[in-house]
Amino acid sequence: MQAQQSSRPNVVVFLADDLGSADVGYKGAEFETPNIDRLCRDGLKFNRFHSMPLCSPTRSAFMTGRHPVRFGLTYSVVRPWSYYGLSVQEKTIANVFHEAGYQTGCIGKWHLGHTHEKLLPRSRGFDYFYGHMNGSIDYFEHTRDGSPDWQRNGETVRETGYATELLAADAVRWIEARDKTRPFFLYMPWNAPHAPLQAPEALIAKYASITDPKRRTYAAMVDAMDQGIGRVVAALGRGGLMENTIVLFVSDNGGPRGQGANNGSLRAGKGTVFEGGLRVPALLHWKGRVKPGQTDQVSCVTDLLPTLAGAAGIDVTGTKQLDGMNLWPLLISGKTQPREELFFAVQGEGAGTAPKQHALRSGDWKYIQIEKEHYLFNLATDPDEKNNLISSEAARAADLRSRMEKWVALHTKAEVITSSTPHPGWVQPSDWSKAWVR
């Protein structure tokens, strides 16, 4: 049994935070991402990969292979001091790999619940966690709202350094100190280049030619993340692991244009169901197993659990009904397959007051409803969503709307975790590592 486990591939998942669709070198960015570009050159580039429009929904979809509409993380993110998170009734990708004999680590941004022990990473299938709980932190102070949000396995870590660099260094240590008789699953959800826009001065100066100060700092933050990815990949190389390690790189949503991101010609950005909010850079690398090139397969973040499990030979029939599909046979064969339905929803920034947005993609057609506004696009001929065909294709729009409404009806409230210990109430914690209860 041990020999079978050790022959399985390792898996490393790099999840960028708020990276625009055009914000990597291989997509024409004006800043450097040589390590990501190298993985892309030697791996498989996804041309039509979609995440959810916001952080927590994407993370929950990745974790479960299921749409967040099913467990209450559909429209917004887990806000600081919220009493909910990823439902404890859901089995995670870390559970799946851990049960298959993998050692599992999460290094970076969690953002799936923090006020109860059951919501924390080490209760969700991860042997090890280093990073922060909330959606954003100060990159140098490692604080959220003035309180420390930086920990290792539930204990606050007080250290100096730029967060992106610290995460990379910890990942290298974890890889080198692992149990070398077992395969590993490492999930690295970077907080870069999510706001606040902060980077080492030397990196900001490197991009002095970029006149927009937000874009300049944003570029430096992406550069720092790319360097961190390079350090982790180098550690894999030193250990002779690249031939038996699947490396995935993807962003959690489209870029926020107001924070320096660039989504190219795609319409809108983060927090919307237009392509600029959904279509993200993505690539898969497995030396000697995945043929370099690109795929036009329409893909979604919900596909990652069944696809990575499929690549590793892990049976996922014991999980709940998955919304994602196992793309592994298509990816290694170079074939594509039409997608019958992909559903997206968001309430955007200022949740509770902003209008809800819903979208359904079927084949090349995409229907969008934002209150009284209705759109229909043919993404094959109009990927930038400029030509609204709602009037000329009324019957098609009505069909897609009817199918979309069935998804909307699945929405359930987020599960609030109760405890015999009273919740401390809406009081600013002095230490986010101590904000949870049992």
- Tokens 């990652």 locate to 304
State how far the Cα of 157 lies from the Cα of 297, in Å rounded to an integer: 42
Cβ within 8 Å of residue 214, ≥6 positions away = 197, 258, 259, 260
> What are the chain's domains?
2-337 (3.40.720.10), 342-408 (3.30.1120.10)
Q: Is residue 324 a contact partner of residue 67, using CB atoms and an 8 Å limit? A: no
pLDDT of residue 3: 33
* Among 117, 100, 68, residue whose Cα is nearest residue 313: 100
Q: Is residue 327 a contact partner of residue 305, using CB atoms and an 8 Å limit? A: no
Helix, strand, coil percent values for the chain (each to nearest 5): 30, 20, 50
State how far the Cα of 133 lies from the Cα of 60, in Å rounded to an integer: 14
Mean pLDDT by 10 residues, the chain (438 residues): 60 98 98 97 98 98 98 95 93 98 98 95 98 98 96 97 98 98 98 98 98 98 98 98 98 98 98 98 97 98 98 90 97 96 87 87 98 97 98 98 98 84 66 87
Q: Helices 163-177 and 213-238 sit at what angle, rounded to 10 degrees?
A: 10
pLDDT of residue 420: 62
Q: Report residue 69 as tokens.
A: 């509409």
pLDDT of residue 248: 98
- The pTM is what? 0.97
State how far the Cα of 296 lies from the Cα of 419, in Å rounded to an integer: 47
In three-state secondary structure terms, 94 is helix
CA distances from 398 to 177, 241, 258, 367, 373 (A): 56, 51, 34, 9, 14
pLDDT of residue 318: 76
CA 131 remoteness from chain centre: 15
pLDDT of residue 82: 87
Q: Is residue 349 a contact partner of residue 277, using CB atoms and an 8 Å limit? A: no
User: What are 156's strand-pairing partners?
Assistant: 151
**Sequence letter at residue 140:** F
Q: Which residues are catalytic?
A: 55, 111
- Report the DSSP pairing between strands 357-362 and 365-370: antiparallel
pLDDT of residue 317: 83
